[in-house]
Amino acid sequence: MTARRATLWTRLTGVLTLAAVYAALLAGIVPLAIPHPVTRPLRLALAGCVVVCVLLWTLASVKAPPVPPVPPVPLDKGRRDARRYVLPRTGRFLRALLVLTVPLASGAALIQGVGPDGADGRWQTEVYAAGGGIQALPIDRLLGDPVPTGVNINDVDQYATDVQITVPFTDGPRSVTVHRAKTRGEPAEGDTVDMLYAPDRPALGARFNDSGYMSRGFALLWILVLTFCACLFTVATFSAVAPESLNCRRFRPRLHGVWALLAVLSIGLLLPGLFFLVSSGVGWLLALTAAALPWLALTWTLKQE
């Protein structure tokens, strides 16, 4: 395909596309405590915005005037010019933004694999869909002796105790027995515990909000740390790549067509976890596969140079 000039419209749609991509990635990589059904409209809207911006950039690129042919340059002179060429500061910044989308997309895909599943996940989904949330409620009565869980948080032992709590549902308060409610330190009447419930749906009940600090929170923390390290590694590695590499600002069907295919495949792998409650093993398998595809797109880009 004939190379096209960079015009005002290609630059404008390119900036909009990059901004939409980063907005979608940040919405996916920020570890939200709210289940997918609540955040689903936002993420789908951002994904749709990315698709529209990409189509506008592609149309603007195809409609742009062609680049005039460059006269042949003697081999020795071309080599001297190549040695003297330095990528402008704006170009280096743009290239850093482009390559950063790879580790960020991988991190966002991995985070989609973290979350409640099974019967408990289905119940949490119904509670949040009904407008429920987490609220600290006081303990009315201890129903047993506190039992140490063996977990120590900031030099304070954690205890599990059966307690009685009054939950303020919309149609009136109800007394609920909570088994193995966890507290930092030995609990006493009047201490609060985090309860998850929907005020307008008392039929769903109320449960102690066991946030899974040692499992879900630990996984989120490690994914964020790995994503940050991958960002540093990617920027440091490609800052030393030749300036003519990663020349992906101008539309090329062979390059950007593969990008689009891999992006659609990656999003498609994450849709089951977004709309349905899949098992933990299946969710992680889909997330890991989706996380690998951005690196495959980057590899394909380097092969084209």
> What's the rounded mean pLDDT across residues 97-107?
89
DSSP 95-162: HHHHHHHHHHHHHHHHHTT-S--HHHHHHHHHHHHTT-EEEEEEEEEE-S--EEEEEEETTEEEEEEE
Q: Which of 24, 96, 14 is nearest to 57 (CA)?
A: 14
Is there a contact between 118 and 279 (Cβ–Cβ < 8 Å)? yes
Look at the alpha carbons of 280, 281, 284, 290 in this order and tell me if their dihedral is positive or negative: negative
Kindly state the average pLDDT of the residues 73-89.
52
Taking the C-alpha atoms of residue 82 and residue 68, their distance in angstroms, rounded to an integer, is: 20
- Write out the two tokens for 8: 């005002």
Q: What is the pLDDT of residues 181-200, one digit of tens each?
A: 888 888 888 888 989 999 99
Structure confidence at residue 41 as a pLDDT band (50, 70, 90):
confident
Decide: 293 and 262 in contact? Cβ < 8 Å: yes
**Among candidate residues 211, 297, 204, the one with its CA nearest the CA of residue 248:** 297
Q: Which residues pair with 33 in a beta bridge?
A: none
pLDDT (tens digit per residue) in 214-266? 456 677 788 889 999 999 988 888 766 655 555 666 777 888 888 888 888 98
pLDDT for residue 292 is more than 90: yes
Give the pLDDT of residue 76: 54
- State the pLDDT confidence band at 82, using cuts at 50, 70 and 90: very low
pTM of the model: 0.68
DSSP designation for 65: P
How far is it, in rounded angstroms, from Cα 173 to Cα 16? 50
Q: Which of 54-63, 116-125, 261-270, 276-285 has the lowest mean pLDDT?
A: 116-125
Could you tell me which residues come within 8 angstroms of residue 6 by beta carbon, excluding any fewer than 6 positions away?
A: 64, 249, 250
Q: Which residue has the higher pLDDT, 130 or 91?
A: 130
Q: Count the neighbouring beta carbons within 10 Å of the beta carbon of residue 31.
A: 14
Q: Considering the chain, what is the average pLDDT of its residues?
A: 79
Residue 289 has pLDDT above 90, yes or no: yes
Question: CA dihedral in degrees (224, 230, 235, 236; nearest 10)?
Answer: 130
Enter the tokens of residue 58. 């592609």
